Amino acid sequence: AQTVTQSQPEMSVQEAETVTLSCTYDTSESDYYLFWYKQPPSRQMILVIRQEAYKQQNATENRFSVNFQKAAKSFSLKISDSQLGDAAMYFCAYRSVQGAQKLVFGQGTRLTINP
Amino acid sequence: DAGITQSPRHKVTETGTPVTLRCHQTENHRYMYWYRQDPGHGLRLIHYSYGVKDTDKGEVSDGYSVSRSKTEDFLLTLESATSSQTSVYFCAISDYRVGYTFGSGTRLTVV
């Protein structure tokens, strides 16, 4: 079974600075998807970024980018120019390409933005 | 969220009572899921469905049952609620092209 680990329960960063959230995962599969979700206090789950394992190029969405290291099974999220609205819980998630498309989540990292 | 609604949004119930949470989609997606969210655990899969009357267990299925009699509705039932089932419950649908869409969540408190 696949597992996802987020070893940083909490992180904080100064507004306008850069922060990196860590995620590692364990799988025996060669093809899969990885995701970062943001959950603000509203409880809504918002997709931040998605990475296909077969793509070597790291995904980027505006101020959000990932560092995908397939051999190391590492998938970190970098947030540049942090804004107050980035404050939220962030979840890393894994999904197989086969089967029932189930998501496996990490424990989450609570990100605080200091003004 | 577009195409998926959960009800109720909040519920307080007593230990030992049955509880049913409802998830409704308008997208006609095959896959539907129930997750629970607890501090320190992220979201964990309870049950999922891959079609009408086709369901399977997830990681934390003990104490829960599900039913899907129509494509659009996926019900989660706690037959006899316990305090350990106090949690936030999320329904989700999955489309291979678009990915996951989550409902707004149900905060369930068992007292």
Whether B48 contacts B68, CB under 8 Å: no
Is pLDDT larger for residue B27 or for residue B98?
B27
- Is residue A80 within 8 A of residue A49, CB to CB? The reply is no
User: Quick check: bond before B8 cis, omega within 30?
Assistant: yes
pLDDT score, position A46:
95
| Mean pLDDT for the stretch of residues A37-53 | 95
Q: What is the pLDDT of residue A97?
A: 87
B33/A contact by beta carbon, under 8 A: yes
Instruction: Give residue-wise pLDDT tens across range B9-63.
Output: 999 999 999 999 999 999 889 999 999 999 989 999 999 999 999 999 999 999 9
Using a CB cutoff of 8 Å and minimum separation of 24, what contacts does A48-56 make?
A48/A77, A48/A90, A49/A77, A50/B99, A51/A75
- A88 CB-contact burial (10 Å; exposed 0-12 / middle 13-18 / buried 19+): buried
Provide the mean pLDDT of chain B. Answer: 94
Ramachandran class of A21: left when φ > 0, alpha when ψ lies in -120 to 50, beta otherwise: beta
The burial of B49, by beta-carbon neighbours within 10 Å (0-12 exposed, 13-18 middle, 19 or more buried), is given as buried
pLDDT for residue A98: 83
Mean pLDDT across A90-94: 97
Contact A102 B33 (CB under 8 A): yes
Residue A64 has pLDDT above 60, yes or no: yes
**Is A101 within 8 Å of B31 when comparing Cβ atoms?**
yes
Mean pLDDT value of segment A82-90: 98
**Which of A4, A44, A50 is opposite residue B99, by nearest beta carbon?**
A50
**Choice among B26-40, B69-83, B96-110 with the minimum mean pLDDT:** B96-110
Contact B42 A45 (CB under 8 A): no
State residue B2's pLDDT score.
60
